[in-house]
Structures are given as C-alpha cells and as structure tokens.
Amino acid sequence: MAETFLNYIDGKWVPAASEETFLDINPARPGEVVGEFQRSGADDVDAAVGAATRAHEEWRKTPAPLRGEVVARATRLLTERKPELAETITREMGKVLVDSGYDVQGAITSGEYMSGEGRRMFGDTVPSGLPNRLAMSIREPVGVVGIVTPWNLPMLMPAWKLFPALVCGNTVVVKPAEDTPMTAVRFFEILEEAGIPPGVANLVTGYGPEAGHPLVTHPDVDMVSFTGSRAVGRQIAISAGEDLKHVSLEMGGKNALVVLDDADVSEAVTGALWGGFSTAGQRCTASSRLVVDHKVADDVVAGLVEGIERLVVGDPLDTETNLGPLINRKQLDRVHSYTEVGQEEGAQLVVGGEKLEEGFDGGYFYSPTLFDHASPNMRIAQEEIFGPTITVIRVDGYDEAIEVANGTRYGLSAAVYTRDTGRALRAVRDLEAGLVYLNAPTIGSEIHLPFGGVKDTGNGHRESGTAAIDQFTELKTVFLDYSGTLQRAHIDEPID
Ligand code: NAD
C-alpha cells in the first residue's frame, strides 16, 4: 500500500475536497509507487488562495529580516537533509543522484542568498529637487502569488520562486508538477518545521488543467510565476492579460552550443556531452543543438560518438549511471517520435534512437541519440525535444554559425567554443539568449545572477539574483516634505 500525502493549506495537512487522489510512480521502475497524492480542484485552490489572502496582512507587516530568518531556517534543514532529498528526487523523477544533488543544492543556495535579501531589498534614496524634502523608493510585496512549476527541477524551481516571494512579503500557493509531488511535499514539511506561519505558504497537488488553471485564473491571485512549456505559458499569459495580473514566465529552450573552427575540440565535445545528456536532456538549458563549423565537424561527431558509447544508462540510484529514465511513458514516446521525424526529414541518425526495453524493468529509458547533417529548419533542429537527443548542424564560418544559432523562436541559453577572444566577444554580443557561455556548455547558472530567456522563452522577467526581488515586489515612491509649506515639483524647483 502506498503512503498517502496531503495538501498543505492554512498550516494544516488536508485532503482534496473531492477526496480523489493520483499515484506518483518511479519512472525507472513504473511498478513502484512513490506515493498517493491529492488530486486537487478549484475548491482546494480556492481554500488555499483564501488562506494566503488572509495571511497576507500580517506577513507583509512582518519585518523582512524576520521573513528572511524563516527562509534561513528552511535552508538549514534542506542542507541537513540533502542526501535523502536527492534520493527522493531520483526516485520520483528518474535523474541520476548527482543531478538530484544539484537540484537540492540550487534550492539551498537560493535560500542562502534570499534569506540575506531580507536585510537588503534595496530601494533608491535620491536627492530631491526641492529643499527640505526626502525622496526615495521602497519595496512592497505584490500580494498573493500563484506558483506553478515543472517536474525537471522539482526542488530548485519551487525554491527559486518561493524563497524570494516570501522574503519580499508575499504569500503563496504552489502547484507543483503532477509527476513530482513528493519533492514538493518534503519541501513544505521543511517550511512547516522552519516555522512558516499558517496560510503564508500553501501547497495543492494535482494536474495542470484541474488545479493549475484555477490557480492562475483565480481573481484573488495578484501574480503568477510559471515555469514550464511554451504552450501552457502562452495560455497563462493570455488569461493573466485579461485580468491584468502580474505574470512571470520561464519557458522552453532549443539551446545552441556553437563550435567554431579554432575551438578546443576535445573540450567542446566534453561540454556537449554534459550539456546535452545531463538529466537525460530534460533541462530547459540542454545543449540540444550543436552548431559546428564544417572544418571541425567530423572530429566533433567522432568525439561525441566515442563519448556516447561510454555513457551508462540504467538505475539512477547507482552512482555509476550517467543517464536515468525519462519522466514518463508519454515523454518516452514523444522523444522517440522525434527520432522518426529526424529520419523522415533526412538527418543522419548516427547513434541511439531506441527505446531501451530489455533488462530495464519496464522503465522509460531511451538511448542517448545523435543526429548529424541536420539542416537548421528541420523540426529536430527547431522544436524542444526534452530528451537525450543532440542534433548537429554543420555551418561554414562565424556568421552562418550565429545566424543558425539565433534561428529559433527560443532564446534561453547559448554557448560558443573558440580560442579567439575577438570572436568570443562578438558572439557574446550577437547571440540572442538570456544566458551566454564561453567555452562551457549551456547549462548551470548561479543564484546571484539573473536567469531567464529572450524571445519566446520568457516575457521579460528574470529569476534569481536581485532580478527575483524586482519580480516579487512593487516599488512605492515616497516623498517626505519637512518644509512646512506647499512645494510644487517642476514648478517651485529652484532651477534658473
Ligand atoms: P508543462 O508546461 O507541461 O507543465 C508545467 C506546469 O504547468 C505543471 O505543474 C503543470 O501541471 C502545469 N500546467 C499544465 N497545464 C496547465 C494549465 N492549463 N494551467 C495552469 N497550469 C498548467 O511543462 P513540463 O512538461 O512540466 O516541463 C517541461 C517544460 O518546462 C519544458 O518546456 C522546459 O524547457 C520548461 N522549463 C523551463 C525552465 C526555464 O527556466 N526556462 C526551467 C525548467 C523547465
């Protein structure tokens, strides 16, 4: 019998109003149930938003350093439990332990950074143009924030949103991905233990259309913070636009790793293998497109083939394993359908392209896959596959490389391998991406810098660093006049 886990609303663990549940399974061994979770609907979301709305008044007036203390306590608990949390992530999501450790560490680092923001959260203090007057801006919370997260970073993603939102004085309702509710429940157990007041942070598990949709359209939700696919993000943007809600969207990527003719080929290959196949390619920043100068393309492809042959696919709890399973059957079928698309389109399938069945316990394993000689407009070169598939596009020189790298609707992350400083700096200038890496693959951001994408990857916001504080606060401009008389801006300013 699987253990049943509840929603967390108003400081209590409660079942869904419908009393319906769903199962969370281990993608490496689909026969193994990780847990049974609440299949929430509009009533549960309403209860959670109601709790967040009631809690907001007191939380917004709680001094920010004290709000930061709650985040700091949660961070200490995350740190103490990192190994067991990483194992939970691996069991429900299938990525290897080193990737799950990264996921937990991302949450820890976010907590460390954001708890300190409780003592900063800077506004501006500027000289007034009028005498005897102070002029400044201060930060205030936006209100109730609805947070909707994907399954590929089940700890880091909620933390990246929740920690800054809470420190800034917002109250939140989190709807985690239906494939990874266990990590979210563990996270909320930690928040409870850290002393989060009732109603300040609420959790409703369930499916997107049933629980996510009522959350992002709820009239009392002031802001939506979403990370996930472009299709869902677009729908959220449309409905948020109707209601004039604040909305921050982080969506997909088709990230190019460019290898120029003067690159250190061996380094580029090592980077591409890590960027393309870590988390079995299920990363928004995965190096899924390799844009390679034809002068070095044969060497790059040969190096990749050699590297792929060394990759171990298997039990993600085994520390020798490099690639675990994909998240679910649907994603396995989808990734395989792209292999068929690539072949139909005329790209050359070099290695992989197979569902791995024999000896894999019915898990959703896919072989690391390499396509060569793809043309830039093929679907496998344009659409986010979100699996262990790397597509090589051969180009002639810097200009074509940049044109191809920029030639998708997405703009999350891009990398360039070159030894030429001038070309490297030109690439930093020319690549259309929110993150650019030089001589490193497209994955792996740091908490104190902004994270997010341009073009269809985002809507202009950034997570992480002080950009997160900008997202989760409203600026209030304040004038304090101690002149004892009426002073009129732009009229009485002593400028001749
Ligand atoms: P998804 O869009 O299917 O789901 C994301 C979340 O939205 C889930 O919690 C889901 O239940 C919810 N949802 C689904 N339909 C909804 C609806 N109608 N209304 C409200 N919520 C709804 O994405 P996914 O498959 O979980 O994640 C993979 C995607 O996430 C990829 O495109 C990946 O690139 C992207 N991603 C982006 C970043 C980034 O920072 N840019 C980071 C991680 C993942």
The pLDDT tens digits for 340-364 are 999 999 999 999 999 998 889 899 9
What is the tens place of the pLDDT at every residue in 268-325? 999 999 999 999 999 999 999 999 999 999 999 999 999 999 999 999 999 999 999 9
pLDDT digits (tens, 9 = 90+) for 38-89: 999 999 999 999 999 999 999 999 999 999 999 999 999 999 999 999 999 9
**pTM of the predicted structure, to 2 decimals:** 0.97
Is residue 416 within 8 Å of residue 427, measured between CB atoms?
yes
DSSP sequence for 242-310: HHT-EEEEE-----EEEE-TTS-HHHHHHHHHHHHHGGGG-STT---EEEEEHHHHHHHHHHHHHHHHH
For a mutational test of ligand 1's pocket, the pick from 160, 213, 229, i.e. the residue with the most ligand atoms closer than 8 A to its C-beta, is 229
Cα–Cα dist 100/79, whole Å:
13
* CB-facing half-sphere around the CA of 307: CA atoms within 13 A: 26
Q: What is the mean pLDDT of the chain?
A: 97
- Phi/psi for 202 (5° steps) reads -130, 150
Q: Whose CA is nearest to atom 10 of ligand 1?
A: 208
Euclidean distance between CA atoms 414 and 402, whole angstroms: 10
Atom of ligand 1 nearest to the CA of 216: 20
Question: Is the CB of residue 251 below 6 angstroms from any atom belonging to ligand 1?
Answer: yes
- Region 20-46 average pLDDT: 98
What is the band of 494 on the pLDDT scale with cuts at 50, 70, 90? confident
User: What is the per-residue pLDDT for 195?
Assistant: 98
Question: For residues 34 and 172, what is the distance between their CA atoms, to the nearest angstrom?
Answer: 26
CB of residue 178 inside a 6 A radius of ligand 1: yes
Q: What is the mean pLDDT of residues 123-133?
A: 96
Ligand 1 pocket, residue 161 CB under 6 Å: no
137-164 pLDDT, tens digit each: 999 999 999 999 999 999 999 999 999 9
Q: Which helix (H) or strand (E) holds 125?
A: strand 125-127
Query: Any idea which residues carry the catalytic annotation?
Result: 250, 284
The Cβ of residue 274 has, within 10 Å, a number of other Cβ atoms equal to 17
| 212 pLDDT higher than 80 | yes
CA of residue 473 to ligand 1 center, whole Å: 24
The answer to whether the beta carbons of residues 58 and 205 sit under 8 Å apart is no
* Gap from CA of 229 to ligand 1 centroid (Å): 4
Q: Whose CA is nearest to atom 40 of ligand 1?
A: 250
Would you state the pLDDT for residue 402?
98
Mean pLDDT of 227-253: 96
Question: Residue 175: which of 152, 153, 204 has the closest Cα?
Answer: 204
pLDDT digits (tens, 9 = 90+) for 432-475: 999 999 999 999 999 999 999 999 999 999 999 999 999 999 99
For the cut 80, the answer to whether the pLDDT of residue 237 exceeds it is yes
Predicted pLDDT of residue 292: 98
Phi (first) and psi of residue 490, to 5 degrees: 70, -5
Residue 496 has pLDDT above 70, yes or no: no
Q: What is the pLDDT of residue 135?
A: 98
Residue 65 CA to ligand 1 centre (angstroms): 32
Q: Which pLDDT does position 233 carry in this prediction?
A: 97
pLDDT at 1 over 90: no
34, pLDDT greater than 70: yes
CB 110 within 8 A of CB 451: no
